Each structure stands twice: as structure tokens, then as C-alpha cells.
Amino acid sequence: METVVVFGLGLIGGSMALAIKNENRTVIGVDNKDGHAKKALELGIVNRLGNIHDVAKAAVVIIAIPVDFAPELTLKVLDLIKPKTLVFDVGSVKSAICKAVENHPKRTNFVAAHPIAGTEYSGPEAAFKQLFYNKKNIVCEPKASGKPFLEKALGIFEELQMTTSFMQAKAHDKHIAYVSHLSHISSFMLGKTVLEIEKDEKSIFTMAGSGFASTVRLSKSSPNTWTPIFIQNKTNILKSLEEYIKNLNQFKELLKQSAEEDLYKSMESTHHLKNILSEIK
């Protein structure tokens, strides 16, 4: 019987616990939100609740708490584990955590992972076993992980039916700012803009259709999760956000001038996305 300790029992950690739990594994859950912990136990997401000291008997420890607290917790966990314990995190920003553990004597026990999976919902109630099925997964700085630990982690990701690729943390954080973090900001601010005008124009949402719903879907995501992600990946996000605002301003100017042909071209230029999007799961 293998013991797995999962820190953070929200959408990601809870789904990870559900996906990993089987007759050969006991999953112990830790969540400093009392409500989350109780709910996760009640929903059968974990076998029992525990605390930081349970990591001493764990074969695997999973860090799925918000990224602002993950580096500190990971260091503490590395201090307490036995020599053969694998520790991996699942956060959306990778430089800070890789930097934090860099010189830890048990650095090789750690694998920095980012499963590209999620929904706009949060908390243990949102967790489901199939969240990671057929999804992409990024492992950062794989050479800094010891071979047996990396192999054990890759085995788990394969068991969850994710496809893993490898990247440096710096490249990960730059790219993910564009293809994930920026989408969330765009969606949060679109929701905000429409809610502001709705104060004066009561019936506005009676006209909203599926296009609006799709574009603002991510604005339902948890501010608890996303505030620290934005702050930790600030430099990359600011750059992507500036480019996005620049493009919106250019579009605005073209529209002001009713520059039909240029507006058309500006939209036409995204058509290459069609092929890319058809491959995204």
C-alpha cells in the first residue's frame, strides 16, 4: 500500500486525488480551508485528512495549493520526506518554484509539473476524475530531477493519460502567459466591462448568446487561484497584455476611420488559428 499526500483539495488537487486513488494507494488530503478539507472527505476525494507530518510516510506528495504558497510548502515538504519520496507540484507558474528548490539537498526528489487542464469552476465540488484525461502536461527542468523520481512522476502522468513534454521554466512561463494567463485577463475584463454597462442598461443580458458565454467563461475562475498566478508571472503577463492592448487600440483606430479593408485583413490574419484550434483538447 502506497501513501500519497495531496496538499490543496480544489479543482486540480481534488481531481488529481480522485484520479490517483485506487486499491493500492491511500490518499491523505491536506487543505487549510476547513470547508474544503471536510467537503473533500465527504465527497470521497481522499481516504482521510491529514497534516504536514504525514509526508514522512508518503511515497508521493502532490503540491496543488495556490502558487504564492507552493514554493515555501515544497521546501518544508522536502525537509520532512524520506529519501525515496517523490514530490511534484502542478502550478501554472514554474520559475519561482524551481528557483526556490534549486539548492535544496533533496532537489532531485522534486518534479515541477503543469498539467494543462482545468475548468472555470473551483473547489472540491468541481473536482472530477477525468479532468486530466487526454490533456497536455509540461515538466520543467527535467534534468534537475533525479532519474527514478522523474520516471515515477512520468508513470503517474501516463496513468492519468496525459501527454508530457519538457521545457525550461523560463520558456514555460513566457509561453503560458500568452496561451493561458492572457485569456483569463481578457475574459475577466470583458465580464467586468459588460457588468458595468449593465448597471444602466438593465436588460442587456437577455441578449447574450453562446458567443458571449464562451468568451467570458474563464471570468468564472477563482480569484484565489488567479491573483497569485498573475503576480508571480507578472513580467511575462505585462508584456503579453501590452501587446494585446496595442492590438485592440490599432483595431479601434481602424474602426474609427472605417478602414474596411484593413479591418478585414486584421481579422483574416487569425485564420491560421482554425487549424491550431481544431487540435486543442
Reading the block at residue 1, the C-alpha cell is 500500500
Q: How far is the CB of 143 from a second copy (least distance, A)?
A: 18
Q: How far is the CB of 141 from a second copy (least distance, A)?
A: 16
Q: What is the DSSP string of 68-132?
A: TTHHHHHHHHHHHS-TT-EEEE--S--HHHHHHHTT-TTGGGEEEEEEE---S--SGGG--TTTT
Reading the block at residue 130, the C-alpha cell is 477525468
Going by C-alpha positions, the residue among 90, 126, 110, 87 that lies closest to residue 4 is 87
- Of 21 and 94, which has the nearer Cβ to a second copy? 94
- Of 85 and 137, which has the nearer Cβ to a second copy? 137
Sheet holding 163-167, edge to edge: 48-49, 25-30, 2-7, 60-63, 86-89, 110-116, 136-140, 163-167
Tell me the C-alpha distance between 42 and 136, whole Å: 30
- Of 33 and 135, which has the nearer Cβ to a second copy? 135
Scan for cell 490517483, then name that residue.
Answer: 20
Q: How far is the CB of 215 from a second copy (least distance, A)?
A: 4
- Of 1 and 213, which has the nearer Cβ to a second copy? 213
Q: How far is the CB of 74 from a second copy (least distance, A)?
A: 21
Q: How far is the CB of 5 from a second copy (least distance, A)?
A: 26
Q: How far is the CB of 166 from a second copy (least distance, A)?
A: 11
Backbone angles phi, psi at 111, to 5 degrees: -125, 125
- Of 108 and 266, which has the nearer Cβ to a second copy? 266
Q: How far is the CB of 249 from a second copy (least distance, A)?
A: 6
Helix orientation angle between 223-232 and 234-256, rounded to the nearest 10 degrees = 100
Burial environment of residue 88 by CB neighbours within 10 A (0 to 12, 13 to 18, 19 or more): buried
- Say which DSSP state 32 is in: S
- Of 54 and 141, which has the nearer Cβ to a second copy? 141
- Of 56 and 248, which has the nearer Cβ to a second copy? 248
